[in-house]
Amino acid sequence: MSDVQQVADKTVKNESLYSGDSELIYHLDDKPPLHEMLIGAVTHLLAIFVPMVAPALIVGTALGLSSEVTAYLVSMAMIASGIGTFIQVNRFGRVGSGLLSIQSVNFSFVTVMIALGGSMKKDGLDEQAIISALLGVAFVGAFLVVASSQVLPYLKRVITPTVSGVVVLMIGLSLIKVGIIDFGGGLPAKGDGSFGSYQNLGLGFLVLCVVIGFNCCQNALLRMGGIAIGLIVGYVCALFMGIVDFSPLKDLPIITIPQPFKYGFSFDFHAFLVAATIYLLSILEAVGSITATAIISERPIVGEEYDRRLSGGVLADGLVSVIACALGSLPLTTFAQNNGVIQMTGVASRHVGKYIAAILVILGLFPVIGRFFTTIPAPILGGAMTLMFSMIALAGIKIILCGGMDRRETLIVATALGIGLGVSYDPQIFRVLPDSIYVLFENPICAGGVTAIILNLLIPRVNKRGQEDELEELIKPVTENFTQAK
């Protein structure tokens, strides 16, 4: 049997092409001991908790919402994320990726929600009417994601490993900016002049060094807990330095009970058109994140298994956003941040996600516990996140290389990367476009992803015989590796 045929057969059988030299401690279906699962769950939570609650806090502050409404939005974000994570990791029928895919609030909606809510506020709407309209629009828009999941298997020519890799790469590069800003003290530090101070940089580098040190350990338990240990060490130092702010813990309800459509339901068609473009962006991000999780978890990113996971993951994204908006949370998406945690800890077990889901629901019911995580100073988070987000960018590069890097793919990646990074440097460059289009191209992830899709459709794929042969180009790098290993 030829090498090409062996690789093709392996792909059809949905076996992992990456299991020969694994760096994972626990694979997708492994069940770690209870204490290790809890450590893994806490590590993932530490990586996403502040980004999870931050969107509701930012929107609440920007729109001048009451502390009661803002606290409810935060609690529902945690509960919805727990429900969504449970669905994703378990995979119920066709719903869910079956990977360690963590659901969290979609940051892409923050700017849009603030803009739409601000406009409604100028029109004289009170906060309940504003929240009702924003969540109503998001609720209806989530069904766009549900519908898109049904056609993903037919879009293989559009969403190739190169396109997915570019999206994941842009996600990582975009998140690095968030990490490095926190490393220097965060946005508040820029306002008070303490950004990049010795104190902030010292905390950031302390956490970074601790995380790197523990991840170099041969002991699996120490490696798994590296991120959590780094954050704990940094937090203890911050306590002794007297820079931990406990004010977010004041005046919170003891328990929060979810109430579907608590603020009513209303719909604004114009606002829906704007939100719909962001949902299209979230689909692209979800495809990239799920692809990254698959490759880091040493699962195929071609073939029938990958198609099922991708379709099920995006379907779960849509359904979970429907649930989230009904409960009173901003829309959710699959979080890319956790791919960095998987890569650094070596734990890809989806069973860890069940514990993450349970903890999130509990934290949502008791807001004072969940809000405690928001007291972690920005430099401590930045020290860990800068490294994790860089891992995501590297995962994107791996995906691109898996698809092959001939002259055609190089041209697509280079152009998409140039446009995406260019937009991140100056988002106003495409301001001349209509608002409905500009809202897409002001986002570097979407700008890079859309550019990759357009070029992938326009530039012909030609093999040495001058004929289109997508499968051969796709498995070429895998075949070469297989031959060398043999």
Query: pLDDT for 153-187, tens place per residue?
Result: 677 677 777 887 888 788 788 778 878 888 998 87
pLDDT tens by residue, 377-386: 889 888 888 8
| β-strand partners of 158 | none
348: which 2 tokens? 């890809």
| Four-residue CA torsion sign, 247, 253, 257, 258 | negative
pLDDT at 411: 93
> According to the model, what pLDDT value does residue 43 have?
81
Give residue limits of the domains in the chain. Answer: 21-402
Residues 227/217, Cβ–Cβ less than 8 Å: no
pLDDT of 204 higher than 80: yes
Q: What is the pLDDT of residues 214-251, one digit of tens each?
A: 888 877 667 767 778 888 899 999 999 998 888 877 77
Shortest CA distance to 48 belongs to which of 381, 330, 393, 285? 381
pLDDT (average), residues 56-70: 76
Q: Residue 122 and residue 442: Cα distance in Å, rounded?
A: 24
pLDDT for residue 178: 78
Q: What's the CA gap between 68 and 139, in Å, rounded?
A: 22
User: Which pLDDT belongs to residue 453?
Assistant: 87
| Res. 103: pLDDT tops 70 | yes
